[in-house]
């Protein structure tokens, strides 16, 4: 299958490159109602940690605490409505934060120009009009949300991305200095999102020379960052992980995630587990699907003294497990990629239930 991929229009990379944000966005200021909307992770709120936001008095700066839950369609609709009512349509949306903030920024940018609720656009190519100019500034590495064509949202029915070519950022600023403050566990779990993206991308039928080349290089970087002689959170490794995240995301533009992500979506939707953590909780038990990947992952866990909980499913009710199995089973593109054309003969809601009972 061919894919005519739309890439990020401009990418700036390097330590300190964030300081160019103001000059980069300024030429776009005269669009729409002439103001910028900055959506920033609350970690960078002036009360907590100083990060200079290049906002003019007419701009809007919204700080969001992403910890209570992953981005929702309701949250995106509410933010769009509030800004539209008070100030109109922005010249651009600038997201500064992790995957959650980047996805909110991408979705909000589209919802300024598409009527109704974002829930009605969860899926492939349902968006009718291009969004407003949007810029992504990642502050934690791993999700690949900085380069993907999807804005993953949890809606009333499903956790699913708004996926189309207009979701992709117009501009991304990759400044690894911004990731220096990430706490160790978040650094591990979100970084492992890249590792698992690449393992799943390579182990499936959508894999091709294009997706493999990006995944191979990202995996090499992950090994240096998490297993190499200088493994750990160093400035050099922050640079590498930021590039790995982008390349893992690039690999997925032509390929797909697989079994781990399907299970992870169920854990997030039903139990509210964070994406990177949910991946790790599931991946450790997927030895039969990804033997080499899981064994290397175990080495990474040991090296960074990360202890994942065991026997979690004993605490879950049958109805929770069933609900998670339904969410996971209803991600046919992931099962198809991971298991091939006859995936329906290999996987059922019952067998997905059994996978959850491993956790
Ligand atoms: P996140 O954005 O949810 O943030 C995790 C935590 O890290 C938060 O507590 C945040 O405050 C903190 N944080 C962020 N930057 C920091 C910094 N520099 N210093 C200190 N703390 C910092 O984490 P994430 O793992 O990057 O994103 C997860 C989300 O991304 C999920 O909602 C998932 O569905 C989504 N996702 C999207 C894609 C995509 O292609 N669009 C791919 C994978 C995951
Ligand atoms: Zn992921």
Give the tens place of pLDDT for each residue, 7-44.
999 999 999 999 999 999 999 999 999 999 999 999 99
pLDDT interval class at 50 (50, 70, 90): confident
* pLDDT at residue 171, rounded to an integer: 98
* pLDDT at residue 2, rounded to an integer: 84
Q: Report the 10 Å Cβ neighbour count for 5.
A: 12
Flag whether pLDDT at 227 surpasses 90: yes
What is the CA(342)–ligand 1 centre distance, in A? 34
User: Nearest ligand, CA of residue 45?
Assistant: 1
Name every protein residue with a CB atom under 6 angstroms from any ligand 1 atom.
Answer: 41, 43, 66-67, 70-71, 97-101, 103, 139-140, 142-145, 148, 150-152, 178-179, 181-182, 186, 190, 193, 275-276
Residues of the chain with pLDDT > 90, as a percent, come to 94
Residue among 95, 143, 146, 191 to mutate when testing ligand 1 (max atoms within 8 A of CB): 143
* pLDDT at residue 1, rounded to an integer: 73
- Reported as a single tens digit per residue, the pLDDT across 316-349 is 999 999 999 999 999 999 999 999 999 999 999 9
Atom of ligand 1 nearest to the CA of 276: 25
Flag whether pLDDT at 135 surpasses 80: yes
pLDDT interval class at 160 (50, 70, 90): confident
Query: Over the chain, what is the mean pLDDT?
Result: 96
Full set of structural domains in the chain with CATH: 10-179 (3.40.50.1970), 184-358 (1.20.1090.10)
* pLDDT at residue 49, rounded to an integer: 78
Residues of the chain with pLDDT > 70, as a percent, come to 100
Residue among 98, 197, 256 to mutate when testing ligand 1 (max atoms within 8 A of CB): 98
User: Nearest ligand, CA of residue 148?
Assistant: 1
What is the CA(146)–ligand 2 centre distance, in A? 12
* pLDDT at residue 157, rounded to an integer: 79
pLDDT interval class at 3 (50, 70, 90): confident
**∠324-330-331 over CA atoms, to 5°?**
105
User: Nearest ligand, CA of residue 68?
Assistant: 1
Bridge-based pairing state of the strands 36-41 and 92-97: parallel
Flag whether pLDDT at 158 surpasses 90: no
User: Nearest ligand, CA of residue 334?
Assistant: 2
Residue among 136, 137, 145, 163 to mutate when testing ligand 1 (max atoms within 8 A of CB): 145
15, 177 Cβ separation under 8 angstroms = yes
Backbone phi and psi for residue 62, each to the nearest 5 degrees, phi listed first: -115, 120
Task: Indicate which residue's Cα is closest to atom 40 of ligand 1.
Answer: 145
41-52 b/e (C-beta count within 10 Å ≥ 16 → b): bbbbeeeeeebe
- Reported as a single tens digit per residue, the pLDDT across 233-287 is 999 999 999 999 999 999 999 999 999 999 999 999 999 999 999 999 999 999 9
124, 164 Cβ separation under 8 angstroms = yes
Round to whole Å and give the CA distance between 149 and 112. 17
* pLDDT at residue 45, rounded to an integer: 94
Q: What is the pTM of this model?
A: 0.95
- Region label for 114, one of left (φ > 0), alpha (ψ between -120 and 50) or beta (otherwise): beta
pLDDT interval class at 156 (50, 70, 90): confident
Report the candidate in 188, 177, 151 with the shortest Cα–Cα distance to residue 13: 177
Query: 3-state SS of the chain?
Result: CCCCCCCCCEEEECCCHHHHHHHHHHHHCCCCCCCEEEEEEHHHCCCCCCCCCCCCCCCEEEEECCCCCCCEHHHHHHHHHHHHHHCCCCCEEEEEECHHHHHHHHHHHHHCCCCCCHHHHCEECCCCCCCCEEEEEECCCCCCCCCCCEEEEECCCCEEEEECHHHCCCEEEECHHHHCCCCHHHHHHHHHHHHHHHHHHHCCCCCCHHHHHHHHHHHHHHHHHHHCCCCCCCHHHHHHHHHHHHHHHHHHHHCCCCHHHHHHHHHHHHHCCCHHHHHHHHHCCCCCCCHHHHHHHHHHHHHCCCCCCCCHHHHCCHHHHHHHHHHHHCCHHHHHHHHCCCHHHHCCHHHHHHHHHHC
Flag whether pLDDT at 80 surpasses 80: yes
């Amino acid at each position: 299958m061919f894919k005519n991929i739309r890439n990020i229009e401009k990418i700036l990379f390097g330590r300190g490159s964030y300081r160019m944000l103001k000059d980069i966005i300024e030429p776009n200021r005269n669009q729409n109602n002439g103001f910028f909307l900055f959506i920033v992770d609350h970690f960078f709120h002036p009360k907590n940690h100083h990060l200079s936001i290049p906002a003019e008095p007419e701009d809007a700066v919204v700080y969001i605490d992403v910890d209570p839950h992953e981005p929702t369609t309701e949250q995106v609709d509410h933010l769009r409505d509030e800004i539209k009512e008070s100030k109109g349509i922005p010249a651009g949306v600038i997201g500064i934060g992790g995957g959650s903030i980047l996805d909110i920024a991408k979705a909000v940018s589209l919802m300024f120009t598409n009527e109704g609720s974002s829930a009605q656009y969860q899926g492939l190519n349902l968006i009718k009009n291009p969004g407003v100019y949007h810029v992504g500034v990642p502050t934690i590495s791993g999700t690949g949300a900085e380069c993907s064509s999807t804005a993953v949202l949890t809606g009333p029915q499903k956790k699913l991305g708004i996926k189309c070519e207009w979701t992709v950022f117009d501009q991304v600023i990759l400044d690894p200095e911004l990731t220096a403050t990430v706490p160790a566990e978040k650094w591990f779990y979100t970084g492992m999102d890249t590792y698992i993206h690449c393992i799943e991308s390579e182990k499936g039928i959508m894999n091709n020379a294009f997706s493999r080349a990006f995944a191979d290089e990202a995996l090499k970087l992950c090994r240096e960052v998490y297993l190499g002689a200088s493994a750990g959170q160093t400035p050099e490794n922050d640079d590498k992980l930021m590039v790995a995240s982008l390349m893992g995301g690039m690999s997925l533009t032509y390929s797909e995630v697989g079994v781990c992500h399907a299970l992870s979506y169920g854990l997030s939707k039903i139990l509210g587990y964070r994406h990177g953590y949910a991946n790790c909780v599931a991946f450790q038990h997927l030895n039969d699907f990804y033997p080499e990947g899981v064994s290397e992952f175990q080495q990474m866990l040991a090296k960074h003294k990360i202890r994942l909980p065991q026997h979690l499913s004993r605490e879950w009710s049958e109805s929770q497990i069933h609900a998670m199995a339904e969410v996971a089973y209803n991600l046919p593109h992931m099962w198809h990629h991971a298991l091939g054309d006859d995936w329906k003969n290999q996987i059922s809601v019952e067998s997905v239930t059994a996978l959850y009972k491993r956790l």
